[in-house]
Amino acid sequence: MIELLWNDPISENKMGKYINSLQLEPHQRVLDVGCGAGEILIRLAERYQITGVGIDTSSDHIAEANKRAKGRVRPSSLTFTVSDAQSFQIAPELYDLVICMGASHAFGLGKDAYQNALSQMLPMVVPGGFLLIAEGYMRQPASQEYRKYLGDSTPDEMTHAANVATGKMLGLIPFAAWTSSKEEWDDFEWTYQRVIERKALADPENAGVVQKRNQRRKWMDAYLEWGRDTLGYGIYLFKTSNELESVPT
């Protein structure tokens, strides 16, 4: 059983707000890259009767997504597939909405992963369609100690405002930008911590599980010392331009 509804520091109430803001039409097409256990796509199908595809590299997540979808949505409305974004064949201008929640690494690693993800998502969307992407940002520059844990994935200049500006630079129209609270971060981090601790307790002879728990404990120490005040999480809704609109500069 996967305890997390979605792999993001977002409360259920806020996720409902974000879903309501999308205002999709029945039978519109949605792609979720790095869909995890599929909960967001399933809720979109419940709310709007869309059709959708979710891809994730974890077979456990895809199995959980299919389990959750059963009985909640029409069997033909959603497809969940074990795949990565690089090998999954996507026709251009096919989807009305493309989602990537905290999974920009699926499009390539590095400090430019967020921009690269937006750039690669763009051709998948119909003109006038939408991109919904969630990404970390820096509330303040990282201390030297905390940077050892973050690596180069979220550079200091990658602020909330900079994440919005990146979309504008690519010709996207910002429709909304939300941020997660410290309480949401705490709920997310401690829920994941409980999952890891319970796995280690249940299988104490498994060296891999124990090592993961020990690494996770170090991450939590760093989160409590520096992370709560340094790392933020932004959710960004962008609209692509169409022939009837001019993108403001």
> Any idea which architecture 12-181+232-239 has in CATH?
3-Layer(aba) Sandwich (3.40)
- What residues pair up with 173 in beta bridges, in sequence order? 239
Rounded CA gap, 212 and 149, in Å? 15
Whole-angstrom distance between the N-terminal and C-terminal Cα of the chain?
A: 47
Q: What span, in angstroms and rounded, lies between the C-alpha atoms of 181 and 176?
A: 16
pLDDT per position as a tens digit, 174-212: 999 999 999 999 999 999 999 999 999 999 999 999 999
Q: Kindly report, residue by residue over 81-104, the tens digit of the pLDDT.
A: 998 877 777 777 899 999 999 989
Q: How far apart are CA 173 and CA 165, in angstroms?
A: 10
- Count, in order, helices (H) and strands (E) of the chain: 9, 7
What pLDDT sits at residue 176? 97
Query: What pLDDT score was predicted for residue 2?
Result: 64
Candidates 99, 115, 124, 122; CA nearest to 19 is: 99
Q: What pLDDT, in 10s, does the model give residues 9-56?
A: 999 999 999 999 999 999 999 999 999 999 999 999 999 999 999 999
The pLDDT of residue 224 is above 50: yes
- Tokens 């790095």 correspond to 34
Could you tell me the maximum CA-CA distance found in the chain, to the nearest angstrom? 63
Comparing 87-96, 101-110, 168-177, 239-248, the range with the smallest average pLDDT is 239-248
Report the run of H or E that residue 186 belongs to, with start and end: helix 182-202
pLDDT score, position 163 = 97
User: What is the pLDDT, as a whole number, of residue 86?
Assistant: 77
Q: Is 105 left (phi over 0), alpha (psi -120 to 50) or beta?
A: alpha
Provide CB contacts within 8 A for 234, sequence distance 6+: 134, 135, 136, 137, 160, 163, 177, 178, 179, 180
Q: Inform me whether the pLDDT recorded for 159 exceeds 80.
A: yes
Total residue length of the chain:
249
Per-residue pLDDT tens digits for 43-80: 999 999 999 999 999 999 999 999 999 999 998 899 99
Segment 152-164 mean pLDDT: 93
Q: Summarize the confidence of residues 150-165 as an average pLDDT.
A: 93
Burial class (CB in 10 A: 0-12, 13-18, 19+), 26: exposed
Q: What is the pLDDT of residue 1?
A: 47
Strand positions, DSSP E, the chain: 29-33, 51-56, 78-82, 95-101, 125-138, 173-179, 231-239
Residue 125 has pLDDT above 70, yes or no: yes
Q: Residue 109: its pLDDT value, please?
A: 77
Check whether 248 has a pLDDT greater than 70. no
**Token output for 108:** 């390539």
- The strand ranges marked E within 159-217 are 173-179
The percent of residues above 70 in pLDDT, for the chain, comes to: 96
Question: What CA–CA distance (Å, rounded) separates 55 from 36?
Answer: 8
| The two structure tokens encoding residue 28 | 């519109």
Q: Is the pTM of this model over 0.85?
A: yes
Question: Residue ranges per domain, the chain?
Answer: 12-181+232-239
Percent of the chain with pLDDT over 90: 80
| Under 8 Å between Cβ of 99 and 36 | no
Quick one: pLDDT at residue 243?
53
